[in-house]
Amino acid sequence: MSAYDLLIAPFADYGFMRRALVACLCLALGSGPIGVFLMLRRMSLMGDAMSHAVLPGAAIGYLVAGSLSLTAMGIGGLIAGLSVALLSGAVSRSTVLQEDASFASFYLTSLALGVLIVSLRGSNIDLLHVLFGTILAIDGPALALIGGITSMTLVILAIIYRPLVAECFDPGFLRTVGGRGPVYHALFLLLVVLNMVASFQALGTLMAVGLMMLPAAIAQLWARGLTAMMALAAATAAVSGYAGLIASYHLELASGPTIIMTAAVIYGFSILFSPSGFARRLFPRPHLAG
Amino acid sequence: MSALLTLDNLTVTYDRHPAVHHVSGFFRAGSLTAIAGPNGAGKSTLMKAIMGELRPAKGRVQHQLVRSDFGYLPQAADINRRFPISVLDTVLLGAWRHTGAFKANGPKEYAQAAEALSAVGLGGFERRPIGSLSAGQFQRVLFARLLLQDAKVILLDEPFTAIDARTTEDLLNIVAHWHGEGRTVIAVLHDLEQVRTHFPETLLLARECIAWGPTADVMSVGNLLKARMMAEHWDDGAGVCEPPVAGTSMSQPPLGKPSIEEPAA
């Protein structure tokens, strides 16, 4: 098998592989930076919770459309994700519950509701599709939706960059200068939910966060500056997407999980060999003179 | 000089228990005031009330200032010290009044940031990530950001806690410099020696205002003893506070159980 057969032929020969690859690259560009901000806000697990929250909305969209229509499910997911984010925010502001606790309550409710709705009507196969995605079935409109969400994410991130950084780094300061931190927080949550909806068909609700958090964690292990971190996260996600698709094609594995596993392998490697990793602890370099 | 910030019978409560109780008085424009008092005296609470972060249960804080006239350094800032941001970018946040959320930093802001950093003795630290700084160095960075904020009123809440003598001295010089420029500075401090040496005016707080005025008068043995006698705990059986007698800042002791305990010998 030549290098061409191994690395390029799957995409040259099959349209569905090409669309899957483009979808992965788009998702990587948007999800990478979003994941870095989620991690820096110490909301890594919140992202996970949010992805579950998207499920009932998608399920209702699925029921209404009567098929696995990405548009209907996407709109439903968007509404459900945003309501859970806003509701849990409101609950944590008005009760003694911390945001993580109220989030957990809402997403568990959401997940149960979602699975219930899907099981009312659909078969187990449908449920599997919703939970784990069908990246190889992405069509033109779905690709346009993903590309649109990615473009919007990057533009909005560029616009709200400074206030978002200030809100993550020192929310108290932003408050004293009247910087409307909650507005930017809400906008950021909107971007998170949008990106979840985008990665929904590709990876499914359960693994949608994988392409956000694993690359973000990898980036934090290697990079020091914020810009470098976001670039590295996007690059890692893109590489995982490409390598995952190649591997799943040749080894005949399910694509979504293979992509996430690829990212996980890079993560494992980073834990061992990054500057703060295990290897550096075992073989320390001599310290500097000053 | 005139009153810049007036506390009008200010009471701030947590769970209905007063942390600041019927405090009245004013800060003159251009004054340099220390707020002293025992732990739990309501010093930080008063600062938060002035900043509008806590709503008074009674009374009010009166001023004609806008938000950007204030510079505030809280005691336990919820700053994420591990955030990947450089010293320079942190200081540049102080230019918010000019740049807002979206406008780019110009050469003027960069020059001011460099100047502020050398004023706090951190010239050459621009590119360092804040995670690599010591507590003292980080406090210097926050002072540099305050310098850039160009605020009329500067509130510092325990700015020198866990900071070494040399850094404290440098930062006190900046406070004196602000005072010289005619800015109004209010600082919560627990080191009484520092208060006596560097702050012309003092508000001695023990939930209620014990004394407020020239430091030498305020820091009398009698006043300090009175401040120390403040009961630290909440009185669970406390009754509803009666309106204060006009013309004093002290409240009547609540009816029923007395709220002030006898001091331990």
pLDDT tens digits for range A204-239: 877 888 899 999 999 999 998 999 999 999 999 999
- Cβ within 8 Å of residue A262, ≥6 positions away: A239, A240, A243, A244, A247
Model confidence, pTM = 0.84
Please give, rounded to a whole number of angstroms, the shortest distance from the CA of B215 to a CA of chain A: 29
Classify domain A3-276 at the CATH superfamily level: ABC transporter involved in vitamin B12 uptake, BtuC (1.10.3470.10)
Complex ipTM, two decimals?
Answer: 0.81
The reply to whether B86 touches chain A by the CB within 8 Å rule is yes
Which of A95-104, A174-183, B136-145, B243-252 tops mean pLDDT? B136-145
The reply to whether B127 touches chain A by the CB within 8 Å rule is no
Edge-first strand listing for the sheet containing B17-28: B17-28, B3-14, B58-63
Least confident of A101-105, A226-230, B158-162, B207-211: A101-105
Does residue B15 register a pLDDT over 50? Answer: yes
pLDDT attached to residue A109: 86
Does residue B114 register a pLDDT over 90? Answer: yes
Does residue B243 register a pLDDT over 70? Answer: no
Please say whether the beta carbons of A47 and A213 come within 8 A: yes
pLDDT attached to residue B234: 66
A59 or B22, which is more confident? B22
Please give, rounded to a whole number of angstroms, the shortest distance from the CA of A43 to a CA of chain B: 13
pLDDT attached to residue A60: 81
The reply to whether B124 touches chain A by the CB within 8 Å rule is no
The reply to whether B98 touches chain A by the CB within 8 Å rule is no
Please say whether the beta carbons of A30 and A149 come within 8 A: yes
Q: Are B80 and A160 inside 8 Å of each other by CB?
A: no
- Measured CA to CA, the distance from residue B52 to residue A69 in angstroms comes to 50
- Measured CA to CA, the distance from residue B203 to residue B195 in angstroms comes to 10
- Cβ within 8 Å of residue A158, ≥6 positions away: none
Least confident of A101-110, B25-34, B92-101, B241-250: B241-250
So what CATH class is B1-65+152-164+179-265? alpha beta
- Measured CA to CA, the distance from residue A188 to residue A196 in angstroms comes to 12
Q: How many whole angstroms from its chain centre is CA B133?
A: 24
Residue extents of the structural domains in chain B: 1-65+152-164+179-265, 78-151
Residue range B97-126: mean pLDDT, rounded: 89
Nearest Cα neighbor of B150 from B188, B193, B119, B189 is B119
Does residue B261 register a pLDDT over 50? Answer: no
Least confident of A181-185, A198-202, B19-23, B88-92: A198-202
Average pLDDT of chain B is 86
Residues 164-223 of B with CB under 8 A from A: none
Residues of chain A with confidence (pLDDT) below 70: 67-68, 122-124, 126-127
Structure tokens at B30: 């251009």
Does residue B146 register a pLDDT over 80? Answer: yes
Structure tokens at A227: 């810009």
Residue extents of the structural domains in chain A: 3-276
Residue range B169-185: mean pLDDT, rounded: 94
Nearest Cα neighbor of B196 from B26, B28, B34, B37 is B34
Q: Residue B83 is nearest to which of A160, A169, A177, comparing CB atoms?
A: A169
Does residue B253 register a pLDDT over 50? Answer: no
Residue range B89-108: mean pLDDT, rounded: 88
